[in-house]
Amino acid sequence: MAGDLLERRLVVVTGKGGVGKSTVAAALAVAAARRGKRVVVAEVGRRADVAATLVPGGDDRPGVAHEDDVERFDERPLAGPWGDGLWHVSVSPEAALREYLRDQLPIGPLAELLRSSRMFTALTAATPGLRELLALGKVWELAQAERRTPGAAPYDLCVMDAPASGHAATMLGAPAQFAATARVGPVARQGLRIADTITDPASTAVVVTATAEELPVGEALELRDALRAEAGVDVALGVGNGLLADRFDAADRAVLDGAGEDPAVRAARHHAARAHDQQRQLARLRRELGAPVSTLPFLPVAQVGPAQVVALADRLERAIGRRAAA
Amino acid sequence: MSAPAPLVAASLLDRLAGAQVVVCAGPGGVGKTTTAAALALALAGRGRRVAVVTIDPARRLADALGVGTLGNDPVPVAPGTLAALGVAPPGELWAMMLDPKLTFDGLVAELAPDPQRREAVLANPIYRQISTAAGGSHEFTAVARLHDLDRDPRFDVVVLDTPPSRNALDFLDAPDRIAGFLEGRAVQALLGQGRTGIAARVARRGTNLALGGLRRLTGVEVLEQLATFLAVLGPLTDGFAARAAAVRALLRAPTTRFVVVTGPGPVPAGEAIFFRRHLQAVGMPFTALVVNRVTVLDPASGDGDGGAVGARLAPALGAPLAAKVGRTWDDHRRLAARDAEAVARLSAATGDPTPVVVPMLDHEVFDLPALAAIRDALLAPRS
């Protein structure tokens, strides 16, 4: 693994739905912010789970569709014990399209007219890969040392809370594919530049998250192949999420199996069986992913909040630090 | 959005009485596929002929059901297998794994006026891209297949598992989005008044605002490809429009039921509540809430904490193991309390006074006995 994950410009977090991608993205961003970096978390897909996690009681709720502002991007600071270097933005393809048109078309009113055209909207929706490319283009813009957005301060790191597996591979592959289809034109040119950033391991790292269960681990391994095939990208880090404490060894389990039906013994057997299954899936992930794998514990809380994310950031930072030093 | 109207307390099977279509919807990673299969098994056990459409099931579960290969037509689960699960004739269970690409191709074949035009669409690079799962066709093909199976005389009821989406709403929106595109706005935009020389006109008509803008954005090759695609698709648009309208109607039919499946964690719970409200907003029915993988406290448990448990079990298990059991007991009670709270909150927010609570099993569900255990949990009396 090439160097320190948090020293790149773009970290993309993906994995199967429901495995805690947003929590991992939040923890990585917090770890970077505590190093004094200026970090932005970019969420795509009408969600704001990172914001809901880091600022409980704010406008966003976990799992609830985020009403994106289609006119412009709202880069908001997320204050917390990590200092004032953490920002959040929700990236919708619609806003990305409008921003792109404003940038590309010399005449403002023309862009206005165009984007209000139903025909134009239908055509952009119909063009395969264009929505993905536009959203990813915005994420790329956020990761640039010199930003295209007038007056916008640059970030040291952009953490992207990406869509689930298959869609993420398509999205990361969209720039290269579009560039190949279009060959010439502004989008083709920009597609090539974005593809260069994404396939450069010094600039971009992809983190694949999986809970230690059969389907999510299987999907993580398929995703590794899809990322290589569709986007030319290798996975930099795997995260095994939601791990139960592995506190019962084989001898313990044998004793528990013969220890009767006391509710606490049954709960312990249940825990031991699940933890054992998890360890086998984690071993499979470590064996087959072709990238280092860090683990995060299962959190038995009603709502993951800033305190939990900070604790997870500690763990990830230690793991990343060890690997960078190794 | 206003708070949803509460449901009347009733068993899940009572609420599914008269159903011809059952859609299992909800966030990713909560066990929707397993719920759909177990629900289908339950309905078959009541003598109905059931087809279950699964999306990306666990390989071992698919093998256990005998549907281990992708195929676009349901295959019957063997009568011997069903008998072992307590399903007897006239009850039948058929299962299939949705192949979006095959479904899309089948739809094109059905709607194309002649073989030439069918081949032209199937060979088009843009068609090939949008007809893959990643192009968003999963959602569209799932409901398209639902529509076919609903009219299939072999089945009394069709149970549909829904694709994993970042946002459960995508499932409801995507059919309209793809259908809206296929049914002709974009086609008309490009074809305009005539149907000849499209690519040439695209290149010539720099003054056409929308085309000019898109060309500016994407380059002329993409636009030409798109024009070609929409031209070959043109003859099929009426068929797509009719199909999309039929699907929209089917999802709102009185014989259609929506079962919202979720888990007790904060994110899936939040998404389920949001989804349930959206169902109401778009005029689709809400039938029941299923909460999977819930940690449930054994009613026989005393109120002793981990320390007390450790002391009680130390003579039998030895102090070190008893202490670990005690720690696990504290975790278990904490989690059970969290989950009970989550279920209560979900119940109130979705308006289902008796949500189905499926306990967390010892292992993931990959075989038929485990599926039967989930079915039994779905059918367990509720209070």
Chosen from B325, B343, B360 to mutate, greatest number of chain A CBs within 10 A: B325
Out of A29-38, A157-166, A225-234, B59-68, least confident range: B59-68
**Between chain A and chain B, how many beta carbons pairs sit less than 8 Å apart?**
229
Q: Name the most confidently modeled range: A8-22, A28-42, B113-127.
A: A28-42
Residue ranges of domains in chain B, CATH in brackets: 12-175+248-297+351-379 (3.40.50.300)
For residue A210, the one-letter residue type is A
Higher pLDDT, B273 or B171: B273
B328/A213 touch (CB, cutoff 8 Å), yes or no: no
Residue with tokens 């307390």: B9
Percent pLDDT > 90 in chain B is 38
Q: CB of B138 within 8 A of CB of B178?
A: no
Nearest-angstrom CA–CA distance, A289 and B372:
33
Nearest-angstrom CA–CA distance, B9 and B355:
9
Nearest-angstrom CA–CA distance, B343 and B263:
9
pLDDT exceeds cutoff 70 at A122:
no
Nearest-angstrom CA–CA distance, A276 and B364:
12
| B359 contact A CB<8A | no
Question: What is chain A's mean pLDDT, rounded?
Answer: 86
DSSP-derived secondary structure letter, A65: P
Structure tokens at B58: 């666990």
pLDDT tens digits, B213-247: 666 666 666 667 777 777 777 777 777 777 778 88
Give the chain A residue nearest B338 (alpha carbons): A302
pLDDT for residue B286:
92
Higher pLDDT, A172 or B6: A172
pLDDT exceeds cutoff 70 at A129:
yes
Task: Kindly report the pTM of this predicted structure.
Answer: 0.88
Structure tokens at A203: 């600039």
Torsion of CA A294, A300, A301, A307, to 10 degrees: -40
HSE value, Cβ hemisphere, 13 Å, CA-based, for B316 = 15
In angstroms, what CA-CA distances link A183 with A187, B222, B224? 9, 9, 13
Q: Which backbone phi and psi does B305 adopt, to 5 degrees? A: -90, -175
Selection from B281, B279, B345 nearest residue B2 by Cα: B281
Q: CB of A168 within 8 A of CB of A132?
A: no
Give the chain A residue nearest B215 (alpha carbons): A185
Total domains in the fold of chain A? 1
B266/A211 touch (CB, cutoff 8 Å), yes or no: no
Structure tokens at A124: 């952009």
Min Cα–Cα distance to chain B from A326, Å: 34
Out of A18-22, A172-176, A321-325, B2-6, least confident range: B2-6
What is the residue range of A192's domain? 5-325
Higher pLDDT, A252 or B63: A252
A63 vs B218, B268, B324: nearest CB: B268
Q: Name the most confidently modeled range: A29-33, A215-219, B1-5, B365-369.
A: A29-33
| A243 contact B CB<8A | no
pLDDT exceeds cutoff 90 at A188:
no
Percent pLDDT > 90 in chain A is 53
pLDDT for residue B125:
74
Which chain B residues are within 8 Å of A227, Cβ to Cβ? Answer: none
pLDDT tens digits, B114-153: 898 888 888 887 777 777 655 556 777 777 788 889 999 9
B221 vs A182, A247, A303: nearest CB: A182
pLDDT tens digits, A258-317: 999 999 999 999 999 999 999 999 999 999 999 999 999 998 887 889 999 999 999 998
Question: What is chain B's mean pLDDT, rounded?
Answer: 82
B221/A265 touch (CB, cutoff 8 Å), yes or no: no
pLDDT for residue A55:
85
Confidence band, pLDDT 50/70/90 cuts, at residue A235 = very high
pLDDT for residue B293:
94
Higher pLDDT, A108 or B116: B116
Q: CB of A145 within 8 A of CB of A9?
A: yes
Cis peptide before B125 (omega within 30 of 0): no
Q: Residue A217 sits in a domain of what CATH number?
A: 3.40.50.300
pLDDT tens digits, B189-216: 555 534 444 444 544 444 466 666 666 6
Structure tokens at A224: 């590794």
pLDDT for residue B24:
93
pLDDT for residue B55:
77
pLDDT for residue B348:
95
Region B282-310: mean pLDDT is 90
B328/A264 touch (CB, cutoff 8 Å), yes or no: yes
